[in-house]
């Protein structure tokens, strides 16, 4: 176990969630934008319409700056945030999927070179070459999705990996194809929102009307096909995940996926019919709806993985709770229950390694930091605050709290308590103390 980063109220996991959701905005722009841009560019060449290139230039500039400044940085940011939220988990993923990420990196290199060359050579190279550069960007960008979906879905459904340990057995798991299709179709809905945002502020009326209409139709198609893909994706989820979904899906999250999508579809329908009415606010509204929908989807995806961060292997508090024989790794639970988490975790001050009357509350806090703080705030307010949870349970003494800790393993989305009886008691006393 590494040192813990306690983020008051929010938790480190929430910081990761915020950065990861933000990252989706430039990523979907990157993966979808160029298909639309090269379609429009080829129309411009075919029909002799240089006016269309004004939109292409502004759209490409948005991709360049938003995707390859803020997108690239937030992508690196996910790694930093994942590191400080759950270093053992990101380590476990990297030790298995390093070549997957390295493969994705090759396409990053191509993408970034291609978008710069595409943008800066508009009208400066022959049309065929320019379209080829655009095509290279579009293909490379979508390919990064092909790669990352394998790793993302592995974190939900690891396929045959636990028994074989083989890269592709985890990569091409049972939810890979549905999620790839879902993300591929949805990216066009997001791309449509960006088209709306850029085109609505265009000066040339004819171009504005044509592009807004085309972008809205693209967005509608993305939402329609995305909806169908979502049905396939939902039906591909294994039973334990479905029961998590039933238990953890709040009305807020469900509504957060349904209402923004429906409103976005409505916006697209309006502007497909009356493209001349589009104004910059419409683009901003569309992007806000996209962010809201992505936030709810990604939060749900994170939630339904519980109690694991890597299924059947590592719990969300980073304790290894399952065997992976192919990699020679076994569960840590028995050893921790026997020797104690305070004794085995690396970053515990010596004077807290054994629970004594003099250090009970401090030792209890140490256990809470290691085992609870990844998902729960230890403050009164914030994300799943433990003081409030304990109060809600009506616990009046440490025995009540200890029996709740005993029952954790029976709750489908909670990791079991890991540690000795003394540590459990110390944790119970600490939790009680902060709930008063």
- Which residues in the 169-228 window bind other proteins by CB under 8 A? 169, 171-174, 176-177
Residues 62-81 binding other proteins (CB under 8 A) are 65, 68-70, 72-77, 79-81
- Count the site residues for other proteins by CB under 8 A: 96
Selected range binding other proteins among 209-217, 220-228, 250-258, 364-372, rule: CB under 8 A: 364-372
Q: What is the CA radius of gyration of the chain?
A: 25
**Tokens linked to 312:** 């059947």
Q: Which of 10, 45, 84, 237 binds other proteins (CB under 8 A)?
A: 84
Instruction: Out of 43, 49, 57, 88, name the contact with other proteins by CB under 8 A.
Output: 88
Interaction of residue 146 with other proteins, rule CB under 8 A = yes
Quick check: helix, strand or coil at residue 71?
Answer: helix
Distance between CA atoms of residues 322 and 311, nearest Å = 9
Distance (Å, rounded) from C-alpha 146 to C-alpha 26? 17
Q: Using CA atoms, how far apart are residues 131 and 137, in angstroms rounded to an integer?
A: 10
Shortest separation between residue 200's beta carbon and other proteins, angstroms: 22
Stretch that binds other proteins, among 188-196, 205-213, 264-272, 319-327 (CB under 8 A): 319-327
What sign has the CA pseudo-torsion 244, 245, 246, 252?
positive
Residue 320 lies near other proteins (rule: CB under 8 A): yes
Shortest CB 369 distance to other proteins, Å: 6
- CB of 370 vs other proteins, minimal distance in Å: 10
CB of 371 to other proteins, least distance (A): 13
d(CA 168, CA 218): 33
Q: Does 411 bind other proteins (CB under 8 A)?
A: no
Residues 115-154: b if buried by 16+ CB within 10 A, e if exposed: bebbbeebeeeeeeebbebbbbbbebbbbbbebbbbbbbb
Q: Which residues, 98 to 137, sit near other proteins by CB under 8 A? A: 98-103, 105-110, 112-114, 116-117, 120-121, 123-126, 128-129, 132-133, 135-136
Classify residue 273 as exposed, middle or buried by CB count within 10 Å of its CB (0-12, 13-18, 19+).
exposed
Residue 3 lies near other proteins (rule: CB under 8 A): yes
Task: Give the x-and-dash track for 17-46 against other proteins (CB under 8 A).
Answer: --x---------------------------
Q: Which tokens hold the place of 48?
A: 């002799």
Contact with other proteins (CB under 8 A): which of 32, 96, 244, 261? 96
Neighbours of 406 (CB within 10 A): 13
């Amino acid at each position: 176990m590494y040192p813990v980063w306690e983020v008051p109220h929010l938790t480190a996991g929430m910081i990761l969630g915020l950065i990861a959701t933000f990252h989706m905005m430039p990523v979907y722009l990157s993966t979808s934008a160029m298909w639309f841009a090269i379609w429009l560019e080829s129309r411009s060449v075919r029909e002799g319409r240089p006016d269309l290139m004004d939109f292409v230039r502004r759209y490409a500039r948005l991709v360049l700056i938003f995707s390859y400044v803020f997108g690239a940085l937030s992508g690196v940011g996910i790694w930093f945030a994942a590191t400080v939220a759950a270093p053992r988990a990101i380590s476990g993923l990297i030790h298995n999927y390093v070549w997957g990420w390295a493969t994705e990196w090759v396409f990053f290199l191509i993408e970034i070179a291609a978008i710069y060359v595409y943008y800066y050579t508009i009208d400066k190279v022959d049309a065929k070459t320019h379209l080829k550069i655009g095509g290279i960007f579009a293909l490379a960008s979508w390919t990064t999705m092909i790669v990352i979906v394998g790793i993302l879905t592995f974190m939900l459904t690891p396929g045959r990996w636990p028994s074989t340990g083989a890269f592709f057995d985890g990569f091409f798991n049972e939810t890979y194809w549905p999620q790839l299709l879902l993300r591929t179709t949805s990216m066009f809905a997001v791309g449509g929102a960006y088209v709306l945002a850029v085109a609505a502020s265009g000066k040339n009326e004819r171009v504005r009307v044509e592009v807004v209409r085309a972008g809205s139709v693209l967005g509608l198609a993305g939402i329609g096909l995305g909806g169908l893909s979502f049905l396939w994706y939902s039906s591909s989820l294994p039973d334990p995940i479905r029961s998590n979904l039933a238990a953890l899906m709040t009305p807020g999250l469900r509504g957060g996926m349904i209402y923004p999508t429906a409103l976005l579809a409505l916006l697209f329908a309006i502007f497909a019919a009356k493209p001349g009415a589009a104004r910059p606010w419409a683009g901003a509204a569309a992007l806000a709806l996209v962010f809201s929908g992505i936030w709810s989807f990604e939060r749900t995806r994170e939630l339904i993985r519980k109690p694991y961060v890597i299924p059947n292997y590592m719990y969300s508090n980073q304790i290894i709770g399952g065997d992976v024989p192919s990699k020679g790794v076994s569960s840590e639970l028995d050893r921790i229950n026997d020797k104690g988490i305070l004794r085995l975790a690396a970053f515990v001050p010596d004077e807290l390694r054994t629970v004594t009357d003099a250090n009970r509350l401090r030792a209890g806090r140490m256990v809470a930091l290691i085992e609870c703080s990844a998902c729960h705030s230890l403050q009164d307010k914030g994300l799943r605050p433990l003081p409030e949870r304990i109060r809600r349970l009506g616990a009046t003494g440490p025995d009540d709290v200890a029996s709740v800790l005993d029952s954790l393993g029976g709750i489908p989305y909670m990791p079991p308590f890991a540690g000795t009886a003394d540590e459990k008691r110390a944790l119970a006393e600490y939790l009680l103390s902060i709930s008063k």
